[in-house]
């Protein structure tokens, strides 16, 4: 099956989902039983009961990634498609799509215009190198509030228009207000120009996509008219700091593996990550108009993480939502230091906590309800882990300072000796470590077997994997504390600000590092000191946690360093395929283009407006298709006809170029 053939049924999907659920529940039950047996031998106290409950939830959460990674490893090792389970060709052929009109839309907000234009131009040049590049147009959708940045945007996009003309048309539109943020930006575009395009490829300001990937996405949409959305797997690139290189390496090694496993059991109801994906325009417009949540921010008001919700609404209407793990040349950028990374997580935490309010929304597919729950648990487990450690510390200190009651009953002849269960404690600790680390080990093994040269060779790959694991362990306590604080701040009513993401690398000054981590360091000092004085045995068990907190400021400072990042690169560590074997789109970005003389910005094209009705979470939509079984087409309605050509619905959809 090639990348364009997405019409095949998914065999045994219900059996797959049932099997994965049984594996997760069985593993969680086994871990919970072992913890219960360890705690109950001397009588379970109230604190230990809390520890047991928190352990079961957090252990159950990590087992999902554990089994997903195993499935992804087996599928990639045997080169099987995660949906159809058919054998995959090593190099899928590029299919020539039939006539289409596709917009590459890039919403931006106070971004570096020159950086945005350079990345977009690289994507456009890669597209123009394809033999089937006709039918594409580009739209830059600006929400920028800063007038100076807006002026530079106009200059940068005008230069891009001139350099790409007449081979590829680039449009630019700046909104007068930024109501609805990114989702509102896309909705406003659809209401003005939506009927002009069959498909939308959504790009973030830091997105890079290869031309072959873009053509294959269009061909895949045409091959299966039931598909409403196809998400690719974006891999981070272009970061030079230690933290950025750590993030890039981890994503390059593990993301394809986990995405393959997710695709296996999520089937046609995967998630949308907001960018590097293609949407069927009519399906998106008919079903993805977002309402505000009742109540005040942060849990009410505008939906912050709109992508999860849009995927759920599209699936509710009967459209399939796919994840294509085979396509390469899909890239993004990540924050270059822990502070900026945490700021981005703060926004995501608020959005994912909002999703908990939608768990009971009318008509949603069960898998989308799981996406909402899992998205929130990805951060809530940090808080639960922290609570478990705190309660365990209090219990350990209490037991260390208390005296055992050797004669709990009157006239007792023999004492109640304290009972230890080393035969359970060590296996549980090792099993928990195995569940946590196995996805990383499997990612390493797959790369070691199939593509070691892409990571610089087998020896550098092994050393880089060990370094990545060490960094992940060291920063985990700080991220746990930050996520816990963010969750509590959201629940207390503090809303997040919407600022442009800092994408270029910068070394965090020592003062900034201490400013953002002094509380974490203080907590680490108090925590380590209390356990050392009152529960010295537990002090050593807790050492990975308090050590990470004590080193918070140095970790932030050192991992933000561009100098150390370049040293790692020269040493061959944390190198990724995008560096070792750069694709054409990355090579074009490295080459860059010279700016032409100042030119006038071309106006947007004539409008072909369409409706994007606001959806309801309390009632079924009147025009939505019913949830479908695999292989069925969505029910055709007056405003949603996925099995027909979008051009037939839209009326006078124009050709490739309009005056």
Over residues 311-325, mean pLDDT = 96
Q: Which of 45-54, 87-96, 368-377, 448-457 is predicted least confidently?
A: 87-96
The Cα 148–Cα 178 span in angstroms is 17
pLDDT digits (tens, 9 = 90+) for 213-241: 999 999 999 999 999 999 999 999 999 99
Residue with tokens 């219960």: 36
The Cα 330–Cα 211 span in angstroms is 10
pLDDT, residue 622, reads: 54
Would the pLDDT of 198 be above 80? yes
DSSP 194: G
The Cα 272–Cα 233 span in angstroms is 10
Host H or E run for residue 49: helix 46-77
The Cα 476–Cα 468 span in angstroms is 12
pLDDT, residue 589, reads: 83
pLDDT, residue 399, reads: 77
DSSP 196: G
pLDDT digits (tens, 9 = 90+) for 144-168: 999 999 999 999 999 999 999 899 9
How many H helices and E strands in the chain?
21, 10
Would the pLDDT of 378 be above 90? yes
pLDDT, residue 48, reads: 84
Backbone angles phi, psi at 332, to 5 degrees: -145, 180
Could you tell me which residue, 405 or 445, shows the higher pLDDT? 445
Over residues 379-399, mean pLDDT = 90
Over residues 565-571, mean pLDDT = 95
The Cα 156–Cα 174 span in angstroms is 14
Chain-centroid distance, C-alpha 496:
19
Q: Which of 10-19, 146-155, 389-398 is predicted least confidently?
A: 389-398
Write the burial class of residue 12 (CB in 10 Å: 0-12 exposed, 13-18 middle, 19+ buried): exposed
What predicted TM-score, i.e. pTM, was given to this entire model?
0.89
In contact, 345 and 486? CB cutoff 8 Å: yes
Write the burial class of residue 256 (CB in 10 Å: 0-12 exposed, 13-18 middle, 19+ buried): buried
Over residues 523-530, mean pLDDT = 96
The Cα 374–Cα 355 span in angstroms is 10
DSSP structure string for 132-174: T-TTEEEEEEE----HHHHHHHHHHHHHHHHHHTTTSEEEEEE
Structure tokens at 552: 């918070």
pLDDT digits (tens, 9 = 90+) for 71-106: 999 999 999 999 999 998 765 556 778 899 999 999
Write the burial class of residue 421 (CB in 10 Å: 0-12 exposed, 13-18 middle, 19+ buried): middle
The overall average pLDDT reported for the chain is 87
Q: Comparing C-alpha atoms, which of 576, 551, 478 is closest to residue 240?
A: 576
Structure tokens at 459: 């020896």
Chain-centroid distance, C-alpha 84:
24
Would the pLDDT of 336 be above 70? yes
pLDDT, residue 408, reads: 55
DSSP structure string for 53-120: HHHHHHHHHHHHHHHHHHHHHHHHHTTB-TTT-PBPPSSPPPP---S--EEEEEEESS--HHHHHHHH
pLDDT digits (tens, 9 = 90+) for 462-520: 999 999 999 999 999 999 999 999 999 999 998 877 666 766 778 999 999 999 999 99
pLDDT, residue 431, reads: 87
Over residues 419-440, mean pLDDT = 78
Residues ≥6 apart with Cβ < 8 Å to 8? 1, 83, 84, 86
The Cα 316–Cα 70 span in angstroms is 30
Could you tell me which residue, 7 or 223, shows the higher pLDDT? 223
Host H or E run for residue 229: strand 227-231
Considering just the CA atoms, what is the radius of gyration of the chain in Å? 26
pLDDT, residue 415, reads: 46
pLDDT, residue 13, reads: 95
Backbone angles phi, psi at 269, to 5 degrees: -130, 50
The Cα 136–Cα 124 span in angstroms is 10
Of the chain, the percentage scoring pLDDT greater than 70 comes to: 86
Structure tokens at 271: 């998630």
Host H or E run for residue 330: strand 330-332
């Amino acid at each position: 099956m090639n990348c364009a053939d997405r019409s095949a049924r998914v065999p045994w999907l219900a059996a797959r989902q049932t099997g994965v659920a049984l594996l997760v529940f069985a593993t969680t039950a086994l871990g919970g039983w072992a913890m219960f047996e360890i705690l109950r031998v001397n009588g379970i106290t109230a604190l230990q009961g809390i520890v047991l409950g928190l352990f079961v939830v957090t252990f159950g959460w990590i087992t999902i990634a554990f089994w997903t990674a195993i499935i992804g490893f087996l599928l990639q090792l045997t080169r099987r498609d995660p949906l159809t389970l058919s054998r995959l060709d090593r190099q899928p052929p590029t299919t020539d799509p039939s006539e289409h009109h596709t917009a590459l839309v890039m919403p931006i907000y106070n971004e570096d215009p020159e950086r945005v234009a350079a990345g977009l131009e690289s994507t456009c040049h890669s597209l123009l190198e394809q033999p089937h590049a006709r039918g594409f147009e580009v739209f830059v959708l600006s929400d920028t509030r800063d007038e100076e940045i807006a002026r530079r945007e106009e200059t940068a996009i005008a230069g891009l228009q001139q350099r790409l003309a007449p081979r590829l048309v680039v449009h630019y539109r700046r909104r007068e207000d930024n109501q609805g943020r990114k989702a509102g930006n896309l909705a406003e575009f659809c209401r003005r120009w939506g009927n002009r395009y069959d498909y939308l490829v959504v790009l973030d300001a830091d997105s890079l996509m290869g031309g072959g990937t873009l053509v294959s996405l269009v061909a895949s949409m045409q091959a299966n008219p039931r598909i409403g959305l196809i998400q690719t797997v974006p891999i981070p690139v272009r970061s030079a700091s230690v933290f950025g290189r750590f993030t890039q390496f981890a994503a390059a090694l593990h993301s394809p593996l986990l995405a393959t496993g997710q695709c296996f059991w999520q089937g046609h109801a995967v998630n949308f990550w907001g960018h590097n994906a293609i949407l069927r325009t009519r399906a998106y417009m008919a079903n993805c108009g977002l309402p505000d949540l009742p109540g005040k921010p942060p849990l009410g008001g505008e939906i912050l993480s709109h992508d999860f919700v849009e995927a759920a609404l599209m699936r509710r209407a009967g459209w399939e939502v796919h994840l294509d793990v085979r396509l390469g040349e899909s890239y993004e950028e990540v924050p270059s230091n822990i502070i900026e990374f945490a700021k981005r997580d703060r926004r995501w935490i608020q959005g994912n906590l909002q999703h908990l309010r939608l768990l009971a929304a009318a008509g949603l597919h069960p898998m989308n309800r799981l996406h909402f729950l899992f998205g929130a648990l990805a951060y809530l487990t940090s808080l639960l882990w922290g609570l478990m450690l705190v309660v365990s510390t209090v219990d350990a200190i209490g037991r260390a300072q208390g005296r055992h009651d050797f004669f709990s009953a009157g006239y007792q002849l023999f004492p109640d000796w304290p009972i230890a269960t080393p035969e359970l404690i060590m296996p549980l600790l090792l099993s928990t470590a195995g569940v946590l680390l196995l996805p990383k080990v499997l990612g390493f093994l797959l790369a070691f077997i199939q593509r070691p040269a892409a990571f610089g060779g087998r020896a550098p790959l092994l050393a880089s994997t060990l370094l990545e694991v060490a960094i992940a362990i060291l920063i985990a306590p700080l991220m746990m504390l930050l996520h816990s604080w963010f969750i509590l701040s959201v629940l207390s009513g503090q809303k997040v600000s919407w600022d442009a993401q800092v994408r270029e690398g910068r070394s965090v000054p020592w003062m900034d590092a201490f400013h953002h981590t002094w509380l974490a360091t203080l907590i680490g000092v108090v925590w380590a000191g209390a356990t050392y004085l009152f529960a010295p045995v537990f002090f050593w068990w807790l050492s990975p946690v308090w050590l990470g907190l004590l080193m918070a400021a140095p970790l932030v400072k050192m991992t933000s360093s561009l100098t150390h990042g370049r040293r790692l690169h020269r040493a061959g560590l944390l190198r990724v395929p995008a560096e070792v074997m750069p694709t054409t789109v990355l090579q074009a970005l490295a080459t860059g283009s010279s700016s032409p003389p100042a030119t006038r910005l071309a106006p947007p094209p004539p409008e072909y407006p369409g409706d994007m009705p606001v959806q309801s979470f309390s009632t079924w939509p009147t025009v939505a298709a019913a949830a479908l079984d695999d292989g069925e087409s969505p029910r055709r309605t007056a405003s949603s006809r996925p099995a027909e050509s979008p051009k037939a619905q839209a009326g006078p959809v124009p050709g490739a170029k309009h005056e």
